[in-house]
């Protein structure tokens, strides 16, 4: 589907009080990795990204691609293998190390002087750099601007009270002519106020499975949005 897709407003998902009061600490996210509670990780990669990859890349080469809250997303290697430069940020050092190990990539690690206790892990090939730190500390480091952002679940993982700051950071990282691909789950209300982007819904997919019944919900739909510069 091309950019003539219907323009939509992400605010169609109003926040509930439960969402507004939901807070997960950084330590709780780290514990999810230690305990192996990473059901959000997709070993085969994101199928909607695969399907709409040409729309996202638009035939351009040697792009800088940013992965917020990247975990060990296999898609990072997809883009690197295509000759793009990949940068990610993730709070779990375990998740970052697992990415390099599982993808059979050698790497170096360096301290991030601007953020005490933080590190950056760089592939030996030089085209993958993963920052292990709080995403909201990232503006203290000059990581440059990006042509593409692949946001699979990062916006909805951020605590609702922090989402305005999150979107400000994301927009500050974009170059002119950027493309921002956003995947969200419609059962989990999100807000994206004051958007300065064109937002197109590329596809809706029913992803409800038997395991979701234990969550107390009876439907779950994943939606893929493409954000471009107005």
Mean pLDDT value of segment 189-206:
50
* CA nearest to 5, candidates 230, 222, 203, 206: 203
Q: How far apart are CA 186 and CA 190, in angstroms?
A: 8
Q: How far apart are CA 127 and CA 125, in angstroms?
A: 6
* CA nearest to 180, candidates 90, 22, 55: 55
Q: How far is CA 58 from CA 62, 121, 162, 223, in A?
A: 12, 29, 31, 20
What pLDDT shows up at residue 2?
Answer: 37
Mean pLDDT value of segment 113-127:
97
Most confident of the ranges 15-19, 123-127, 156-160: 123-127
Average per-residue pLDDT in the chain? 81
Please give the CATH number for the structural domain made up of 10-35+42-229: 3.40.50.150
pLDDT > 50? residue 38: yes
pLDDT tens digits, 60-115 = 999 999 999 999 999 999 999 999 999 999 999 999 999 999 999 999 999 999 99
What pLDDT shows up at residue 59?
Answer: 95
Q: How far is CA 88 from the centre of its chain?
A: 8
pLDDT > 80? residue 19: no
What are the E-state strand segments in the chain? 64-67, 85-90, 107-111, 119-123, 128-132, 146-152, 174-185, 197-206, 221-229
* CA nearest to 115, candidates 94, 131, 99: 131
């Amino acid at each position: 589907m091309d950019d003539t897709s219907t323009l939509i407003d992400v605010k169609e998902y109003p926040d509930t009080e439960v969402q507004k009061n939901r807070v997960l600490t950084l330590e709780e996210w780290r514990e999810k990795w230690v305990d192996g509670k990473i059901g959000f990780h997709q070993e085969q990669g994101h199928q909607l990204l695969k399907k709409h990859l040409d729309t996202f890349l638009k035939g351009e080469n040697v792009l800088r691609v940013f992965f917020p809250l990247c975990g060990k997303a296999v898609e990072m290697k997809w883009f690197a293998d295509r000759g793009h430069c990949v940068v990610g940020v993730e709070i779990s050092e375990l998740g970052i190390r697992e990415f390099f190990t599982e993808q059979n990539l050698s790497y170096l690690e360096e301290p991030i002087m601007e953020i005490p206790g933080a590190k950056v892990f760089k592939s030996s090939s030089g085209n993958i750099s993963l920052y292990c730190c709080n995403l909201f500390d990232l503006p203290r480091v000059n990581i440059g601007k990006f042509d593409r952002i692949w946001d699979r679940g990062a916006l909805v993982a951020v605590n609702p009270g922090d989402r305005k700051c999150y979107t400000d950071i994301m927009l500050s990282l974009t170059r002119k002519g950027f493309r921002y691909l956003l995947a969200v789950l419609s059962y989990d209300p999100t807000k994206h106020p004051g958007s300065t982007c064109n937002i197109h819904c590329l596809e809706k997919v029913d992803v409800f499975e038997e395991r979701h019944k234990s969550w107390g919900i009876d439907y779950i739909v994943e939606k893929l949005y493409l954000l471009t510069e107005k």
